[in-house]
A and B are shown apart, each in its own frame.
Chain A
Amino acid sequence: MSGRPDIGATLAVLVVFTLLALVAPAVLETYTLTILLIYGLLAMSLGLVWGFGGILCFGQAAFYGLGAYSYAIAAINLGESTLPFVLGIVVPFLFAGVLGAMMFYGRLSDVYLGVITLVVTLIFFKFMNSTAGPEYAIGQARLGGFNGIPGYQTLNVPGDPDAYIFGDDFYYLVVAIVLVVYALLRWLLASPFGRVAVAIRENEARVELMGYDARLRKTALFAVGGAVAGLAGTLFANWAEIVTPGLFSLGQSAEIIIWCIVGGLGTLVGPFVGAMLLGYLKFALGQQALIDNTLVLGLVLVLSVLLLPRGVVPTLGQWAGLARRRRPRRAPRRRLRPARGGADG
């Protein structure tokens, strides 16, 4: 579960996931499963950046929204989905790269990192909310402000704009994408790059003393996280058929963090499972009117921080005795120390 190559475990996860994904449509509608998988993918992107890179990003929603908007805007202008789909990944990747470079080369850390990512998300949110006027348009695509952008071309078979991929087909496509992304991320983490990234999380000064450029690696990892979040946003845009500034909201960022916390940091499966569980909980709560839903989500977060500081999946793993093989790992870096040494006030 750490950055070490563990081909057996990865294959096991892939096989189990594939089986579950094939059985699941018998239990739940595919449109519900699709969105849950998209949430899972989004959570995995933060799980990568935060759980393995030790970078707490309060603004993962910025990349998610950017992916969705890039797709929608490009799809309106091009009327075909292939290039927009690629843009939905590349734009957030580049943006995350630039933002990451600015932060990591500026040696910002911990809290300040949180503030910058938070602020960037807020800027997107506020900007997108104030683009209702006709002067805000990219090509033929009106940004639409608070109401968002509806009515763009959804995913089609590359090269054939009339052959839409939707419904069950879209679900299986998302399943395949999740499998590929998971495998790629595992490979990335097992590679020398990934192992150094994890080492940076553990002790940045030591890694730098050994001659690695921590700034570059953190930036790259951050950009990859941005790309995965953007991919999730692109898929969301295809599922929902409308994108709104709500994608950039603080609430959305909060949700992603909650998924990771509940699922468990330091793993990729944990955030994924957390997102699917809580996503489903949200849908289930929407069908009743007894308890306020915000209240329930809040309680889940507070209780999981207090009682399950390592998250559901790692805790279950521990119970199952999986962790016995190695010496107990350090709990994933949630105990980030304050940036400042002593108080001087």
Chain B
Amino acid sequence: MTSRREFLAGSAALAASGLFAAVPGARAADPIKFGSILDMSGIFDAYGKPMDMAMRLAIDEINAAGGLLDRPVEVTAYDTQSDMALYTQFGQQLARRDKVDVVHGGILSASREAIRQTLRKSEVLYFYNVLYEGGVCDRNLFVTGVTPAQQVEIVVPAAIKKWGPKIYILAADYNYGQITARWMQKYAAEAGGEVVRTDFFPLDVADFGSTIAKIQSAAPDIVVSALVGGAHLSFYRQWAAAGMKPKIPMASTTLGVGNEHKVLTAEEGDGILVAYNYSPEIASPANERFLKGWTDKYGDTSLIHEIAVSNYQGVHVWAEGVRKAGTLDRDAVIAALTQGLSIDGPGGMVAIDPKTHHAVLDVHLMEFAGQKLKVLESFAQRQPVDTQGVCDLVANPDDNTQYEIKI
């Protein structure tokens, strides 16, 4: 008869062996902490919500493929409610309390600047996955959105070639608009064009009657716009309502980023020339995979826009970096990311330029057609030439500046 003591000892051994077996397993499953910080409510949520959805889709894909380094990835997401003070708050929280391994997020340039230094000081790798004005030079930061030069070098010469040399520029009155307008002037001059006038508009201006009259008295061949946001959308509507659309054609570096082509009617939008990294109409296996994944997870694909795809690609670029590095150590991941790594994203191949930590991307020239973005021509692997002009992290790894790019 087995004594009670023997039985107890036996079961203790069993339990112990179970425990020992479980411990390495638990350690392997200890999740990687992924921080996300986006405006999911308030005035910028039209940008932030799809970005959040895209990020979660990418994380799901990574986890479905077995996670990273055999560990699942766990998301810690904060909604900054379109309030800049909350970026500082949540940025600190991610770095100090949640101790995440990477942070993806920020939409406006101000929001990026609100968290960039905190993340740099606490040595948390930071990805900013948004189309922006360019010029930030920081070893801790990777940017996977397009910069003005990448778009403008394609869209402005194409417009001049198509319609003629006289250009009237309309731009939103903040850094992005100001800098983009300067690139427009530069590339227009190089393509033999002439800028007749440049007007800047604060983001809340919604009445463009006088402006439309002014444009007519200047009689340009093309109107090029870098207008931003809901109020500025009125311009396109008032422009069409004044019957100007058939008279003066238009190109833009911003229209369509927030899916404006679906808001404007076909009559208001058709024929407007733009250049972006992504259109749902791109025919590539990677894009089909992405669209299918989105449909399976969320159903409706109509929310997808340029910067949601940038965010999706950014997450995958980071994941690829971690895989290559084989560790979460920040410096090892940075090294892996800057040594010729690339992914095949929905918008085409995405690589990282080691000098600037900005993305080298495919840019597609597109036209609004029937509330869709019809791809006219694709330009492979455009360098972030604007930021390259001021930033060299290979030579100065300690640089930590947002340069105002002089043209």
Direct A–B contact present (CB less than 8 angstroms): yes
Question: B-contacting residues of A (Cβ < 8 Å)?
Answer: 29, 31-32, 35, 126, 129-130, 132-134, 142, 144-148, 150-151, 236, 239-242, 244, 246, 251, 282-283, 285-289, 292-294
Task: Report the Cα distance A37→B240, complex, angstroms.
Answer: 51
Residues A132 and B178 in contact, CB atoms below 8 Å apart: yes
Closest A residue to B37 by beta carbon equals A286
Task: Report the Cα distance A126→B203, complex, angstroms.
Answer: 9
| Residues of A contacting B325 in the complex (Cβ-Cβ under 8 angstroms) | none
0/1 string, B75-95, CB within 8 A of A gives 1:
001111101111011101100
Residues A289 and B79 in contact, CB atoms below 8 Å apart: yes
Given A29-B92, A147-B109, A293-B41, are A244 and B84 neighbors across the interface (CB < 8 Å)? yes
Residues A145 and B92 in contact, CB atoms below 8 Å apart: no
Residues B84 and A29 in contact, CB atoms below 8 Å apart: no
Which residue among B85, B97, B178, B404 has the maximum number of chain A CB atoms within 10 Å of its CB?
B85
Given A129-B202, A282-B81, are A146 and B86 neighbors across the interface (CB < 8 Å)? no
Query: Smallest Cβ distance from B99 to chain A, in angstroms?
Result: 12
Closest B residue to A35 by beta carbon equals B89
Residues A146 and B110 in contact, CB atoms below 8 Å apart: yes
Task: Report the Cα distance A226→B7, complex, angstroms.
Answer: 78
Question: A-contacting residues of B (Cβ < 8 Å)?
Answer: 40-42, 77-81, 83-86, 88-90, 92-93, 96-97, 108-110, 113-114, 116-118, 173-175, 177-178, 200, 202-204, 402, 404
Query: Smallest Cβ distance from B365 to chain A, in angstroms?
Result: 28
Given A244-B84, A293-B81, are A286 and B90 neighbors across the interface (CB < 8 Å)? yes
Partner of A241, one of B88, B174, B203, B204: B88
Given A32-B89, A292-B41, are A129 and B114 neighbors across the interface (CB < 8 Å)? no
Mind listing 28 A-B residue pairs with CB under 8 Å? A29-B97, A31-B89, A32-B89, A129-B173, A129-B202, A130-B200, A132-B173, A133-B178, A145-B174, A145-B175, A146-B173, A147-B109, A147-B113, A150-B402, A151-B113, A241-B118, A242-B113, A242-B114, A244-B84, A244-B110, A246-B83, A246-B110, A286-B81, A286-B90, A289-B40, A293-B42, A293-B79, A294-B42
Residues A246 and B175 in contact, CB atoms below 8 Å apart: no
Residues A240 and B114 in contact, CB atoms below 8 Å apart: yes
Given A129-B202, A287-B79, are A148 and B85 neighbors across the interface (CB < 8 Å)? no
Closest B residue to A126 by beta carbon equals B202
Query: Smallest Cβ distance from B116 to chain A, in angstroms?
Result: 8
Contacts A132-B200, A133-B173 known; list 13 others, CB within 8 Å. A31-B96, A129-B202, A129-B203, A129-B204, A145-B178, A146-B173, A148-B113, A150-B114, A151-B117, A251-B83, A283-B86, A286-B86, A289-B79
Partner of A147, one of B40, B85, B110: B110
| Residues of A contacting B88 in the complex (Cβ-Cβ under 8 angstroms) | 35, 239-242
| Residues of A contacting B90 in the complex (Cβ-Cβ under 8 angstroms) | 286
Given A31-B92, A239-B88, are A132 and B177 neighbors across the interface (CB < 8 Å)? yes
Partner of B108, one of A142, A147, A288: A147
Task: Report the Cα distance A285→B78, complex, angstroms.
Answer: 9
Residues A130 and B173 in contact, CB atoms below 8 Å apart: yes
| Residues of A contacting B175 in the complex (Cβ-Cβ under 8 angstroms) | 132, 144-147
Given A29-B96, A35-B85, A129-B203, are A146 and B114 neighbors across the interface (CB < 8 Å)? no
Task: Report the Cα distance A245→B40, complex, angstroms.
Answer: 21
Partner of B84, one of A32, A142, A240, A292: A240
Query: Smallest Cβ distance from A146 to chain B, in angstroms?
Result: 3
Task: Report the Cα distance A7→B211, complex, angstroms.
Answer: 63
Residues A150 and B80 in contact, CB atoms below 8 Å apart: no
Task: Report the Cα distance A286→B92, complex, angstroms.
Answer: 14
Given A29-B92, A31-B96, A242-B84, are A146 and B113 neighbors across the interface (CB < 8 Å)? no
| Residues of A contacting B117 in the complex (Cβ-Cβ under 8 angstroms) | 150-151, 241
Given A133-B178, A146-B175, A147-B110, are A240 and B85 neighbors across the interface (CB < 8 Å)? yes
Closest A residue to B40 by beta carbon equals A289
Task: Report the Cα distance A309→B404, complex, angstroms.
Answer: 51
Query: Smallest Cβ distance from B85 to chain A, in angstroms?
Result: 6
Query: Smallest Cβ distance from A323 to chain B, in angstroms?
Result: 35
Task: Report the Cα distance A288→B76, complex, angstroms.
Answer: 11
Query: Smallest Cβ distance from B202 to chain A, in angstroms?
Result: 5
Given A147-B108, A246-B84, A286-B81, are A132 and B174 neighbors across the interface (CB < 8 Å)? yes
Closest A residue to B121 by beta carbon equals A166
Task: Report the Cα distance A89→B364, complex, angstroms.
Answer: 51
Task: Report the Cα distance A32→B86, complex, angstroms.
Answer: 10
Task: Report the Cα distance A246→B85, complex, angstroms.
Answer: 9
Residues A286 and B174 in contact, CB atoms below 8 Å apart: no
Task: Report the Cα distance A282→B79, complex, angstroms.
Answer: 10
Task: Report the Cα distance A35→B404, complex, angstroms.
Answer: 31
Query: Smallest Cβ distance from A134 to chain B, in angstroms?
Result: 7
Query: Smallest Cβ distance from B343 to chain A, in angstroms?
Result: 28
| Residues of B contacting A293 in the complex (Cβ-Cβ under 8 angstroms) | 41-42, 79, 81
| Residues of A contacting B85 in the complex (Cβ-Cβ under 8 angstroms) | 35, 236, 240, 246
Query: Smallest Cβ distance from A288 to chain B, in angstroms?
Result: 8
Residues B78 and A147 in contact, CB atoms below 8 Å apart: no
Query: Smallest Cβ distance from B372 to chain A, in angstroms?
Result: 30
Closest A residue to B406 by beta carbon equals A134
Residues B40 and A242 in contact, CB atoms below 8 Å apart: no
Partner of A294, one of B41, B78, B89, B203: B41
Query: Smallest Cβ distance from A7 to chain B, in angstroms?
Result: 36
Which residue among B97, B202, B204 has the maximum number of chain A CB atoms within 10 Å of its CB?
B202
| Residues of B contacting A285 in the complex (Cβ-Cβ under 8 angstroms) | 79, 81
| Residues of A contacting B118 in the complex (Cβ-Cβ under 8 angstroms) | 241
| Residues of A contacting B178 in the complex (Cβ-Cβ under 8 angstroms) | 132-134, 145
| Residues of B contacting A130 in the complex (Cβ-Cβ under 8 angstroms) | 173, 200, 202
